[in-house]
Structure 1
Amino acid sequence: MLEICASGDEVSRLRLADVVGVLRRVRIMGKVGEEFWDANLPEWLLDKFSPERTREEKMAWLTQWRRASLEVQARMVAEQGWELMQWAYWFGDENEEWVLWSVEADAMNHLLKIRLKGADEQSPVSAVKWLVEQSGCHVSGMTVFQE
């Protein structure tokens, strides 16, 4: 189990907790489409996603990325941002890497603890980290512990 600690002011932690609540429901519901996300995610978050790209645009980007140095590849990935459905994949039932297991508020320490079952420090959790940052919080720690 991987615990991601998100710290920030109360408003940011509440924004993050609200979205995590939606994400936890999705796992129970099964496959949902873009209409669900548009109806259930807050506007502040929907505005943060990159526009959907065409298949041709994605292939052109991938060709350029493959030719680039490691440093340029990392910059390209960071600049690309997340498309809504690309990001949403990580919280749906198709993701077999990890499950968004629980969230716990620690108001005394101004933290929100997000637990991912099946994850460790090597797991692809950038979708969670991105959400934390977009909410106005920041990742203040990550801890692996036995399930």
Structure 2
Amino acid sequence: MIGPEERRHLMSGPRSGQVAGGVGTVDVLACEGNGTEILSRAQAVLLTILEYSEAEWPAVEEWRALLPSWFVAACGEEMRREDAERWLTWWRTLGPADKVRAESERRWTLADWLYWLNPLERQWFWWDAKAEQDGTLRVTVEVSGWPTALGALDWLLRAAGAVEIVHEESWPG
């Protein structure tokens, strides 16, 4: 999906009868938060990303000034190599459930998040979103292949206020 088309999807969803490309879509549920607020915040961040996705990709320090301050503040501090290795060594001692919990609680650094939003690395594209009455936000993304890396989207939604993230795949056919 190209930038202007994704921008339209971000603001008003797909056109009537429009079918997703790639291998299909994945619904990402942002639970236990204010779905309307999470959507508004995620849109603000992604609109900024899309503004620069067809130009020269800014450096991390430039992004700090371009992105909403609440998002930059939500990101974790950049780790020195030694700290990252220490965290990974600790993480490897955990059981499977504890590894999942540790990963879901860990804040992404801005540099790590931006790496996965870089147009050369992105594997998902905003298709549609709907804030549901129970406070859940349902975001539908078009994916170019499966499996696909959705962690950057998960972090965006968590930073925007979601407490829990759930993925639901739906394939064409």
Query: For 2:97 and 2:26, how far apart are their aligned partners in 1?
Result: 29
Contact 1:13 1:112 in 2 (8 A): no
* Residue of structure 2 equivalent to 1:134: 159
Which of 89, 93, 96 is 1:63 aligned to?
89
Scaled by the length of structure 1, the TM-score of the pair is 0.73
* Residue of structure 2 equivalent to 1:76: 102
How has the CA–CA distance of structure 1 residues 145 and 86 changed in structure 2, closer, same or farther, with 3 Å as cutoff?
Answer: same
* Residue of structure 1 equivalent to 2:67: 41
* Residue of structure 2 equivalent to 1:18: 44
Which consecutive unaligned segments of at least 5 residues does structure 2 have?
Answer: 1-23
Instruction: Give the match's secondary structure for 1:32.
Output: coil
Could you tell me which amino acid in structure 2 is paired with residue 129 of structure 1? D
* Residue of structure 2 equivalent to 1:2: 25
Give aligned-pair identity as a percent: 21
* Residue of structure 2 equivalent to 1:125: 150
| Aligned Cα root-mean-square deviation (Å) | 3.1
Contact 1:3 1:144 in 2 (8 A): yes
How has the CA–CA distance of structure 1 residues 65 and 28 changed in structure 2, closer, same or farther, with 3 Å as cutoff?
Answer: same
Which consecutive unaligned segments of at least 5 residues does structure 1 have?
Answer: none
Instruction: Give the match's secondary structure for 1:45.
Output: helix
Contact 2:128 2:140 in 1 (8 A): yes
How has the CA–CA distance of structure 1 residues 40 and 6 changed in structure 2, closer, same or farther, with 3 Å as cutoff?
Answer: farther
- Is the aligned partner of 1:86 residue 2:131? no
Scaled by the length of structure 2, the TM-score of the pair is 0.64
| Structure with greater helix share of residues | 1
Contact 1:5 1:113 in 2 (8 A): yes
Instruction: Give the match's secondary structure for 1:29.
Output: coil
Between Structure 1 and Structure 2, how many residues are aligned? Answer: 143
Query: For 2:143 and 2:52, how far apart are their aligned partners in 1?
Result: 15
Instruction: Give the match's secondary structure for 1:2.
Output: strand
